[in-house]
Amino acid sequence: MKLRQSPFFENALKQFLDVAEKINLDPNIAERLKSPERTLIVNVPVRMDNDVVNVFSGFRVQYNDALGPSKGGIRYHPAVTLGDTAALAMLMTWKNALVGLPLGGAKGALCVDPTRLSRSELQRATRRFTMELISMIGPDKDIPAPDLGVNEQVMAWMMDTYSQQVGAASPGVVTGKPIALGGSLYRHEATGRGVVFCIEQAAEKIGMTLDENTTFAIQGFGNVGSMAAKALAKLGCRFISVTTSRGGVYNSKGLKLDDLYRCYKEHGSFKCYKDGEQITNKELLALECDILVLAAQAGQITIDNAEHVKCKILAEGANGPVTMDADPVIIDRGIFLLPDILANAGGVIASYFEWVQDIQRLFWDAEEIERRLKKIMHRSFEQTVNLSKTQKVSMRTAALMRGIGKVAQAMLLRGLYP
């Protein structure tokens, strides 16, 4: 289970090495940042409802903690790999640094399909997995959050399991919890809303007016995609297409968001939506529109299809949806690319807010959280776009230069122990 067996990790590592060369990164620091600080691989035995014990593999990767406690999601998916988890942990490290959070980067995973487990099986799997991670996590060490296949109930079980072990309620050990257990308001909206904050600023930079004549398409209709669609529609933009892994729908005159929500919630697809024509993911990526939000999986736009992308602003709501070799093609086509570590940082910023509120036992209202989120996103965007202009590099390169540079500075100041 080597990291180099993951194309996602290879892509993330190559990005790092290219940027390290551009910023003349200290070679000793570069060597240390080429691999994670800590990697835990566990086998998680779970007694199923039929009394058979199944064993699932799990991971937790703490990539770097020079800036503070590690922070990153936990995903439940049968096909997740250690290499993919390490790549996501690396991106979390740069992301947290880029937006100025006092946090390191981490990621975790359990190789299981949560949809095939009963509630009791899911709870037993989560509690046993938490016990396997118990020595690594903690409010001052590593704070997991929900990711793909994980919801706030899973985080509640994780928080309770940890609390039982330390002998006191410890809401700050995880984020993404139910509000009744110390969760934060605005958590569900944060990632998608952060994407749209960046889109608003990008539109201003290229002279695009966001109104009914501005069209947008969304790939992925989970939390990020649906919230981004809602925010863009509220600005007056016209929603013309959406797809998931099960296909999608297109209408040049505009889709009815409420009907889409209802259709998707009831059937898990858009086949029941009649006011439009069915469309594939491949067709959506080549659709002529002003704004394209990628909020699904990694590796959606590659060197093979990048030349067919026809949007003006491309926002990465997901992690790594555009491959490294596709970046130059997108840039040459004059598309304003909003890289993942900037565009989808609203999620980890909201997680940070939840952690802070848990620690101080003082909670903010939604308006306060949105104000703070918008301030951080706007500042990070301006700093990134300014560096992009002064250094004559892409937005992705500028974002990585800032994130990696901050981590490297912290490591140099702290030195090497012993």
CB neighbour class for 310 (10 Å; exposed up to 12, middle 13-18, buried from 19): middle
107 is catalytic: yes
Q: DSSP state, 404?
A: H
Q: Which two tokens stand for residue 101?
A: 């959070």
| Cβ burial, residue 140 (10 Å; 0-12/13-18/19+) | exposed
Task: Evaluate whether 339 touches 399 at the Cβ level (below 8 Å).
Answer: yes
How does 74-83 read in b/e, with b if 16+ C-beta sit within 10 Å? bbbbeebbbb
Phi and psi at residue 295, in whole multiples of 5°? Answer: -130, 35
Q: Is 22 helix (H, G, I), strand (E, B) or coil?
A: helix
Q: Which amino acid is at 338?
A: L
Strand order of the sheet with strand 291-294?
277-279, 247-250, 238-244, 215-219, 291-294, 313-316, 336-338
Concatenated DSSP letters of 260-312: HHHHHHHHSSSTT--SSEEE-HHHHHT---SEEEE-S-S--B-TTTGGG---S
Number of neighbours of residue 288 by Cβ within 10 angstroms = 12
Catalytic residue among 107, 177, 312, 406: 107
Note whether 307 and 163 are within 8 A (CB).
no
Report, as residue numbers or ranges, the catalytic residues.
107
